[in-house]
Every structure is written in C-alpha cells, then in structure tokens.
A and B are shown apart, each in its own frame.
Chain A
Amino acid sequence: MDERICKCHFQTPVVSRLSLKIVGASGQGLDSIGEVMAKALKRSGYCVFGYREFPSLIKGGHSSNQLDISDEKIASSEVKVNIVIALNHHGLEHNLKDLKPGGILIHSTPDWKLSKEDKKLIDQLSLSIIELPIEATLRKLGAKPILGNVLLSAFIWSVFGQDIGALKKMVGEKFAKKKDLLELNMRCIEEGFMVRKEFSSLSVALPKPQKKWQKQLLITGSKAMGLGAVHAGMRLYAGYPMTPSSPLLSYVASIQNQTGIVIKQAEDEITAAQLVSGAMFMGTRALTGTSGGGFDLMSETLSLNAIIENPTVFVLAQRPGPATGLPTWTGQADLLMAIHTAHGEFTRLVMSVSDSDDAFTLMNEAFNIAEEFQISVIVLTDKQIAEALYTQEQYNLTKTKIKRGLTTDPEKLRKLKSSDRYAIDAKNGISPRWLPGSDAATYVAQGDEHGPDGSVDETAANAKAQLEKRMKKMEALKSVLPEPELFGSQEPETLLVGWGSTKSVVLDAMKNLSPSVGYLHYTRLWPLKTATFTKLAKSAKKIILIEGNYHGQLGQLLKQETGVDIKDKILKYDGRPFFYDELLKLISDCI
C-alpha cells in the first residue's frame, strides 16, 4: 500500500511539495529546530505546514516534528517524507520506513549497525544514510549538546541550497537577548555549512520560491484563535489546563500584559465555565476552552445559560476519548456531544474551525451570535488545528464588526420594564438584554423556570410559553447561518463532505483529483443547513463522507435531517489526522 501511495504521488506532481521530519525524544529540542527551519523557509518564500506528534509526557518518548514545504498553498502532511533527521537512535530504528524512494536519513549515532531488513529497504528505495559528526564538532566548539540542533539545521539549510545569511538572521532574532549564546549559535551555523561540504553530492532541490509567502504569518490554530478572541473584544479568559486546549490558555496568558486581559486559571472546568458565564452576564466578553472531559463538566453550566439566556462561548478542543483516551492526539469524535450534551431542550450554535484562518475570524462571529441570540456557542477545534503550524495570510483587521444585541441607550433603558427581559412575545424569541448596573428596571436571571421578569413561575402555560420562546431562536438562528461552502466543482459528480481540520488536507488532495470532484465543507454544524447538500446529493454520482470519528457523525446528522444516507465513508479514529498522500489514495480508491 505504501509503495502505491508513493507512486501515486510521484505520478501526479501537480503540486511540488517535499517534507522533512525531525524525530527524537521530547525535550531534545525538535520543536526548536522545527520552529527555526519553518520560519526561515517561509521567509525565503515557501509555504510551510508544521505537524507535531508527541506522547503525553515531558521528557523521553518518541516525538516528531514534520515540515511540509511547497511553493503553493499547502496545509497538510505526508506519511512518506523526503528527509528524516534522527536526533537519537530511535529514529534509525523506527523511521527508515517513513522515507520516500530516494529519501535521506540524517543522524549522529556513531557505529550504528543496520539490520538486514533495513539494509534491504535502503537498497530497494535507494535511501541515503548520512552520519554527521555532531558530537565531535560540538566538542571542538565547546558547545552544549542542545546546540547540535543548530548544527543540524544549518546542515539541512545548506542541503536545501539556501543562503547562510537568512538562517543567521533567523537565529540571531531568536537569541537577540542572549549575546553569549548568540555567538556560539553563529559558529554552529558556520560549522554546519562546513560539514556539508564533505557531502557535496547530497542536495535536495526546493521549488522556486514565491515572494507572497515571505510576509505571511506562521501560526498555530491555537494562537490564531487567541488572537481572534482578543481582536473580538474578549477581556477575560478562564480555563483549566487540558490538552489540546492548553496552548490557547498559554497563548492568551502570554499576551495579557500587552492586552490588559484578565487570565484566570480556574480550579476546575466547572469553575472556568461559571466564571466566564458570570463575566458575560455582567457584560464583558469572556471565553473558556477545554477538551472533552472538561467539557463534560461544563455541560451543566451550558444548560444554566440556556434558561437564563446568557450568551457564552466555549472552545471545545477535541482529542480521542473515552476518558483520558489519547491526550496528545487528534480526532473529531465530539461533534454529537457538543450538539446534545446538557440537560433540557434549548437553542445552541455548534461551529467548528478548520484552520488558522477561520480560527481567527470565527471567534468574533461566535461572540456576535452568542450575544445577539443570547445563546451558548460551542466552537470546536482539535489537536491537529491547535498544534499545527500554518502559513497564513495576515489577518484583515478592518472587517471585524462587534454586534452585541444590548440595550444601552439611556432613554430606551429607562422605558424598560422588568418583564421585558424574558418577554414571551419577543420577535424570534430574542427579548431585550440589558446589563447589571444599567439605570433601568431590574430583573432576575433565574435558573428555575420563570415568567417574563425572571420570577419563578411553574404554571403549565408559562412553562410551555417560555420553552417555546427559547426554541424560537433556533429557527431565527438557522435562517441567518450561511450554507456550507462548496470547493472545487460547483456541479460535482463526486461530492466529498466533511468538517473541521479535514478541510485543509481534502483541499490539498483535490489538486490531484479530477475537476469533477467537489468538497462541501461544514463550518456551522448545528443547527444544520441542508439545502445545498440536498441539491448536490441529487445530482452527484457518488458522495463520500470524510470524518475523524467512528460513526461518521456529520453523516448521521445529515441522514437525520435530510434522509440521505451517505454510503461511502472514509473514517479515521486512530488519533492521527488524515495525511495528504494517505487521503489522496483513499479518495482515489473510492472514486
């Protein structure tokens, strides 16, 4: 299977891309090599996509940091890579099979004995195994082992035929504040270039650089989301650490002094959800993020906010469960939970980001809808988006409009009655909301079923009327939500359907597929818009569902809402994202 993927890829080189995988133990500095190389490549004119795999521990284990590089837009990883850099001998043991034919493995383990099978594989695939004298070189320079990473980076940089100055500038910025380290780093770069001369036949040609990438951002989905939330006026973030939502908490915490936002690391997820609910109730914009287990704890608060009609935004960063499951891996298995969790029937919006672009823009949309409809909005992301490094156009900051749906005009406030707050006859069920502290009639945000002013009212007529008032918002919300976006063919013979992080890899794969393929991408997942899907499903010869879960959860929703049962499914639930070459083959096989 693997071989066929490679051939398949090489036979259709529509997009020229290559990949570099750095493997080693957590704590060996893979991420710093990855970061330096990624940024240096982007600044030199390449689109870079970074992907990390790591076990749930701080030191040791076998981790990887992979960069996929192209002159065109890419946002996915390949299973088979061009170069492996092994920071320890585990790379020699485990990662030879990750190489494409003609691939290169670079290591620094002296006297490593290759097994018979390995030798056979090396022969078959014409692999090059390069041993670098890193230890000896570092000894010569009097540098610590961690600087081996700089040496390696410089070596690769030279193999790529890139200019030494660009790399020096990059590393110079990183160590600008540590002058003593800076000099040693520079010498390591020079030494890396020197060592390279001993391997003069070794060279990997990169495609022609494109200027457009140079000024773009290199950003993870988590940081994009944090920036988006701050841009949208978020003034408080409360959270409890849980991968893969922790990078969002860490990022917003790291920018608190520049932004003046309040960060609260709560004692548990219930607290985080309640804090944020209280802050939103008082009238600021506040956010919390968690993963599946933490979201389970937040569900009671979700239900509370429904009855008091308090706007809130929750980020649910998915990883595979049940229970602790696979803490540092990815999945899309919490869609139905996001839609169904919490007791009682009520209106909510469930949406999912798919990359660093909408991770930024959807944050304001989430807050706007939460506030205008006085509902909770659940924004799904996953470990893939949270940790992946995207090459991203600079965000347009002029388009953002904050919509709060609040009554703030003093004249209007004075005219309000307490019974306006939860008025049953409000248009679309959306009654006036005004903030505590306003010079107006007061009300109670009541967790018990209540009448229009929030006073407890358990009568049958009131219970029915209030529930219907809150449910009316569902239809109103559905009517303002856009239909899912269609990529590729606008009259597809083969219709791919997916959501979330799958988008990037599907779009990358589609460049190599027939132009009759279309991809329908769902961003807003509940309430579900079905007109486009129903129309396309009628004319498509084949529909393929692509999801990172066992049940094909979006497929289940589509069947429930439209009756259309998607027969062909590409489902993955092993904690790994879809890889470019893998998905390309899976789709091709299906068609």
Chain B
Amino acid sequence: MSIPLQTSAPTMKDYHSQNQSTWCDGCGDYGIWAAIKQALVELKIPPTQTLLCYDVGCHGNMSDKLLGYRFHGLHGRVLPFAAGAKIANPKLPVIAFGGDGASFSEGIGHLVHAVRSHYPIVFVLHNNGNYGLTQGQASSLTPQNQPMNTAPNSIPEGTLNSMDFIFSLEPTFVARGFSGDIKQLKEILKTAISHRGFAFVDVLQACPTYNHFATHTMLMQKCYKVEDENHDSSDFVKARKLAVDTGKRIATGILYRNENVPNFIERLVPRQGKTTTPVEEVQTFDVSKLMEEFI
C-alpha cells in the first residue's frame, strides 16, 4: 500500500477545525494548541501526515479542535498507544499529549517505560498542577500544603519532583516550555519532533479556575529562557540542576538533548535494513520454512 504525499506546504488553515473551543478563558491549553499547529506548519507536515494522540483531561479536548489524524484515548494510557502507532508506521511523526494528573499517577508506569524504551515520539506534558477536568483535585505534582477539591485540609501525600524523576530515567530530550510564550514553545516542539528518540516536553500552563498557586502571572515572572544564558544542552548534570531548581526562577527552553542514542526501532534486530513499515508489510507470510522444524 502506498501512502501518497501531499506536496504543497500546509498552512495554519489546513489544521483549522470548525469546532468551538471548550476551555476556560485564560487556560494555558490555548497557547499549547497554537504552538503545536505552528510547529507542524513550519515543519511542513500536512495534517494527513501526522498522528496526534491525546490522553484524557482538559488538554484532551483539543482532539477535535484541530485537524490531522487524531486519537483521544483513555486516562493515563496515551503513551503505549502512541508508541504502538509509531512502531507500525515510523514514517509518520507521532505526538502524544497528556496532563500532569494522568501522566504522573495512573499513567506513570507508561511514562517510565516510554522513556526507558526510547520510542521515537514526542510527549507534551500539559502541566497545570492539578486535575482540571474533574474539578480541581490534587495531582501528584500539586504542592503538599495546597488545599484542593477532595482535600480541604491539603493533601497528606508528598509532591513528586517531576523533573528530578524524569532525569533519573536517563532521557535523551527534556525541554520545558510555558504556555504564555507560544513562540519559544513552537521552537521547542519543532526540535522535539525532529528528535531521534523520546522527547519529553514539560509545558507549564495556567489553570485559571483551579490552580491559584502557580498562576499565569507568576509563571510569566519566574520563567526565563536558557538560550538567553548560553546553556549547553548537552550537559546532563547542569540540565538536571536547572530543571529541578525552580525556587527563584524557572528555566525554560531545551534543557537537555542527546541525538547519539539509537531509538527503540533502530535497536530492533529484525527491522535492520527494512525499507518497508509494518503497516506496508501486511500480507500472507509464507511459513513453509518455519514448519520444517516440526516435521
């Protein structure tokens, strides 16, 4: 089966959906939504040549607010679905989106193994520090002393240091964006899409309805761009320190990037030298040679 390629360069209009947005005014999802469309257009990827996979949460409501081949799945499970899709057809860029609620609770096992497996996909973390769609419960990234829905006395559990956790998994691409800086986020996403393996993009975003501890204004004041301060993104130790140290200032930009590690598909021995994709290979396979061992 041949997949014909669209030749003319796509425009923002090609990604435009008629469906009206359902996010709250001031939601950080708007910025991420704009940045991803811009990144795809600037990379000249038409909507027919990408797969956008959404987890369940407020961000997932983006799934029908833009065009492209899209998938909106189960809470916490977006990564293995996206990985399976990518392995089946490595020619298509696959971008997965998930919130901090699902990704660091129900889906944390998938996240660990997606980094470890080094699937060549992008993961965009919509990080608003709480469960928005279910009305403001604490996520594992919500500060411990913060009263939330279902936890009026604040949550008894500790807070997960998401960046320290991600760096402990030896990732090859870690970036942090801010939904209020669409231009920078677009550039981050473009590089992430071009990355050889698993690209983790943490996007800090406001949740004006439920998150009163990390507001848009606060994020705007604290975020700075590492590219303005000559950060060496090949320095793993420095990158980890920058990522974790968010007390006074929050570092944004491409924190760490290593293009020298083969990805999951490149490591598969049976796939070496294959020019076809598993999607293109579906046909009856002659097993007569394999039967011989049983005679």
Q: Which of B142-150, B203-211, B274-282 contacts A (4 or more CB under 8 A)?
A: B274-282
Specify which of B47, B80, B83, B270 is in contact with A260 (CB 8 Å cutoff).
Answer: B270
Instruction: Tell me, in angstroms, the Cα distance from A100 to B270 when the chains sit together.
Output: 50
A-side contacts of B187, CB under 8 Å: none
Cβ of B257 within 8 Å of any chain A Cβ, yes or no, is no
For B55, the closest partner residue in chain A by CB is A447
Do A275 and B81 have beta carbons less than 8 Å apart?
yes
B72 touches A274 (CB 8 A): no
A227 to B283, CA, bound (A): 14
A194 adjacent to chain B (CB < 8 Å): no
- Contact at B83–A275, with CB atoms within 8 Å? yes
Chain B residues positioned under 8 Å from A261 (CB to CB): 270, 278
With a CB–CB cut-off of 8 A, which chain B residues contact A436? 51, 69, 85, 89, 92
Pick the contact of B63 from A238, A392, A402, A446 — CB < 8 Å? Answer: A446
Distance to closest chain A CB from B121 (angstroms): 10
Bound form: Cα–Cα A375–B89 in Å: 21
Known contacts A279-B84, A284-B282, A400-B284; A437/B73 CB under 8 A: no
Is A255 at the interface (CB under 8 A from chain B)?
A: yes
A217 CB–B CB distance under 8 Å: yes
Contact of B4 among A259, A281, A439, A446 (CB under 8 A): A439
Known: A278-B83, A279-B85, A437-B91. A304 touches B287 (CB 8 A): no
Are the CB atoms of B88 and A455 closer together than 8 Å? Answer: no
Contact B64 A440, beta carbon cutoff 8 Å: no
A283 on the interface (CB 8 Å rule)? yes
What residue of chain B has the Cβ atom nearest to residue A277's Cβ? B81
Within 8 A of A (CB), among B81-125: 81-89, 91-92, 109-110, 112-113
Q: Is B70 part of the binding interface, using a Cβ–Cβ cutoff of 8 Å?
A: yes
Determine which of B3, B269, B291 lies in contact with A437 in the assembled complex, contact meaning CB atoms within 8 Å: B3
A298 to chain B minimum Cβ distance, whole angstroms, is 11
Known A-B contacts A218-B294, A286-B88; A402 and B283 likewise in contact (beta carbons under 8 Å): yes
Q: Which of B56, B85, B287 contacts A395 (CB 8 A)?
A: B287
Interface size class of A (residues with CB under 8 A): 35 or more
In the assembled complex, which residues on chain A have CB atoms less than 8 Å from the CB atom of B71? 278, 281, 308, 444-445
Interface residues of B in 131-145 (CB under 8 A from A): none
Residue of B nearest to A404 (CB): B282
Q: Quick one: closest B residue to A390, CB to CB?
A: B294
Which residue of chain B has the shortest Cβ distance to A227 in the bound complex? B287
Closest to A389 in B: B294
Residues of B near A283 (CB, < 8 A) are 1, 88-89, 279, 282
Whether A454 and B70, one on each chain, are in contact in the complex, defined by CB atoms closer than 8 angstroms, is: yes
Give chain A interface residues in 230-287, CB to chain B under 8 Å. 230-233, 235-236, 238, 255-264, 266-268, 270-272, 274-286
CB distance from A112 to the nearest CB of B (A): 38
Q: From A276, A278, A404, A448, give the contact of B72 (CB < 8 A).
A: A448
Q: Answer whether residue B271 sits at the interface, using C-beta atoms and an 8 A cutoff.
A: yes
- Taking a contact as CB atoms under 8 Å apart, the answer to whether A216 and B295 are in contact is yes
Query: A-side binding surface: helix, strand, loop or mixed?
Result: mixed
- Tell me, in angstroms, the Cα distance from A453 to B284 when the chains sit together: 32
**B59 interface hit (Cβ, 8 Å):** no
Q: How many angstroms between the C-alpha atoms of A447 and B109 in the bound complex?
A: 21
Most chain B C-beta atoms within 10 Å of own C-beta, residue among A256, A260, A270, A300? A260
Q: Which of A383-410 contact B (CB under 8 A)?
A: 392, 394-395, 397, 400, 402, 404, 408, 410
Partner of A447, one of B51, B72, B278, B279: B72
A217 to B86, CA, bound (A): 37
Contact digits for B37-52, partner A, Cβ 8 Å, 1 yes 0 no: 0000000000111010
Chain B residue at minimal CB-CB distance from A230: B285
Whether a CB of chain A sits under 8 angstroms from the CB of B258 is no
Instruction: Name A284's contact: one of B81, B281, B295 (CB within 8 Å).
Output: B281
Give 1 or 0 for each of A405-437: 1 = CB within 8 Å of chain B CB. 000101000000010000000000000000111
Q: Across the interface, do A278 and B88 meet the contact criterion of CB distance under 8 Å?
A: yes
- Give the residues in chain B near A281, CB-CB below 8 Å: 71, 81, 84-85
B217 within 8 A of A: no
Instruction: Kindly provide the distance from the CB of A269 to the nearest chain B CB, expressed in whole angstroms.
Output: 11
Which residues from B are CB-within-8-Å of A437?
3, 48-49, 51, 69, 89, 91-92, 279
Answer whether residue B19 sits at the interface, using C-beta atoms and an 8 A cutoff.
yes
Given contacts A271-B80, A301-B77, A408-B1, contact A444 B63 (CB under 8 A): yes
**Is B73 within 8 A of A447, CB to CB?**
yes
A223 at the interface (CB under 8 A from B): yes
* Residues of chain A within 8 A of B248, CB atoms compared: none
**CB <8 Å contact, A233 and B284:** yes
Q: Which residue of A lies closest to B269 (CB)?
A: A257
Closest-by-CB residue of B relative to A215 is B295
Q: What residues of chain B lie closer than 8 Å to A284, measured between beta carbons? A: 88-89, 277-279, 281-282
Whether a CB of chain B sits under 8 angstroms from the CB of A456 is: yes
Contacts of B285 in A (CB 8 A): 230-233, 259
**With A260-B274, A442-B67, A447-B56 given, is the CB distance from A267 to B110 under 8 Å?**
yes
Give me the 5 closest cross-chain CB pairs, A-B, nearest first: A278-B84, A436-B69, A275-B84, A274-B80, A235-B278
